[in-house]
Amino acid sequence: MKQVFITLGLISAILATILSVLPLSNLAIFPAIAALIFGLIAFYLSKKAGYVKKIIQFTFLLTIVALSITIYKAVFTTVEVTNTEDLIIKEEESKQEALEELEGLDLEDINIE
């Protein structure tokens, strides 16, 4: 039983760490919470048996690292749009083409009031 919780805790902690460094860092919160719960259960069961394995401490360490990265990214990283040069060029080209096309249309005298 103890081994199951240790394994689940470790898998969750590794998953949380991987997610925390990806753009999906917000999602790392779920495996991080799971890792904490599994880790605590494993810790309790180990303590009852009289010996706490180092792997449980490692699970907690990984979880704390994952949570720290997630919180840091959520608080300090500002989302921004970059690499829009192509889009801006496309917009300009599209406008020029559209104006040429509109010149050929039979538009009644339409003006902005």
Partner 1 sequence: MMRTLFFLAFLVTISINAQNNAIGHAEKLVFTASYNMSGVLNNIAEVTMETSEAKTSKATLLRLKCTAATYSKWDSFFKIRDLYESYVNPSNLTPYLHNRDVNEGSYNKAMKYTFDTKTNKVKSVQSKKNKPDENRNLTIHGGTKDIVSTIYSLRLIDFKNMAVGTKKTFTILFDWEEMKGQVTYLGKETINTAIGKKECYKLAIGSNQPDVLKGTNSNFLWLTADGNKIPVYGKFKIPVGNGELKIKSVAGLKN
Footprint of partner 1 (CB under 8 A): 23-24, 26-27, 29-30, 77, 79-84, 86-87, 90-91, 94-95, 98-99, 101-103, 105-113
Q: Residue 50 or residue 78: which is nearer to partner 1 going by CB?
A: 78
CB of 63 to partner 1, least distance (A): 18
CB of 29 to partner 1, least distance (A): 7
In order, the DSSP letters of 67-96 are: HHHHHHHHHHPPP-----HHHHHHHHHHHH
CB of 34 to partner 1, least distance (A): 13
Residues sharing a CB contact under 8 Å with residue 38, sequence separation 6 or more, in sequence order: 5, 6, 8, 9, 12, 59
